[in-house]
Amino acid sequence: MRKVVLICGLFMIVSCLVTGAFAMEFSADMVSTAHGRTTTTKVFAKDQKFRMEPKDALTYSIVRGDKQVLWMIMPDQKSYMEMKTDPNRQLKVEEKVKGEVSRRVIGAEKIDGHPTQKYEVTYAEGGKTEKMYQWMATDIKFPIKMAAVDGSWTMEYKNVKIGTQPAGLFELPSDYKKVETPSMPGMPKMPKAPGKGGSE
């Protein structure tokens, strides 16, 4: 149960950080930090679908934007849980941030082998403005890193490989059984990030 709570919490944290449009196929290692916890997750993305495999976890998740569902898959039990998800919530790989008001270049850095332009982005959220940093890889046109100016969260893509992903990665195993989704009172609070106000 604890592992299910953690992976559901991870999905919700990631979805808060990466709200936006999506139209790129890629795989990458996503390193995200929020509330003092760092998580490394293998990510595969294709159209409105993405798959997340947290390091050292016994479960993984598939988000199907086309079906508006999230599947939590448990290979050790050959079962899965199904939850509704927001069809507008996808991995964000566009330069423009939702609610963006302005941006300014503050430098150039190399991140995971990619040349980047570092921006300070101001965006509107919940009736006020927030600031974040964005490192846009100029060679692959990809926001390879984002971070809150106040340091409350960061998200970085490593080992990005852009290209066609196998359709089978985003399908349920045919012999897995659907099980009921439990209530999860231990769900962590969400960080504030572009496109969502977060928990108070």
Give the domain CATH number at 31.
2.50.20.10
User: Quick one: CA dihedral 94, 121, 39, 184, positive or negative?
Assistant: negative
Give domain status of residue 97, yes or no: yes
Longest dimension (CA), the chain: 52
Check residue 96 and give its pLDDT: 84
Domain that holds residue 129: 2-178
The stretch 12-25 carries a mean pLDDT of 51
Looking at the structure of the chain, the number of domains it has is 1
pLDDT at 60 exceeding the cut of 90: yes
State pLDDT tens for residues 108-163: 999 999 999 999 999 998 888 999 999 999 999 999 999 999 999 999 999 999 99
CA-CA distance, 119 to 97, in Å (whole number)? 11
Give domain status of residue 190, yes or no: no
Give domain status of residue 193, yes or no: no
The stretch 73-95 carries a mean pLDDT of 81
Give domain status of residue 199, yes or no: no
| Mean pLDDT of the residues in the chain | 81
Strands lying side by side in the sheet with 128-137: 100-111, 114-125, 128-137, 142-148, 153-162, 26-34, 37-46, 49-54, 60-64, 69-74, 79-84, 177-178
Give domain status of residue 75, yes or no: yes
Going by the DSSP 8-state scheme, the letter that residue 188 receives in this structure is P
Give domain status of residue 90, yes or no: yes
Give domain status of residue 197, yes or no: no
State pLDDT tens for residues 158-183: 999 999 999 999 999 999 999 987 65
Check residue 62 and give its pLDDT: 94
Give domain status of residue 15, yes or no: yes
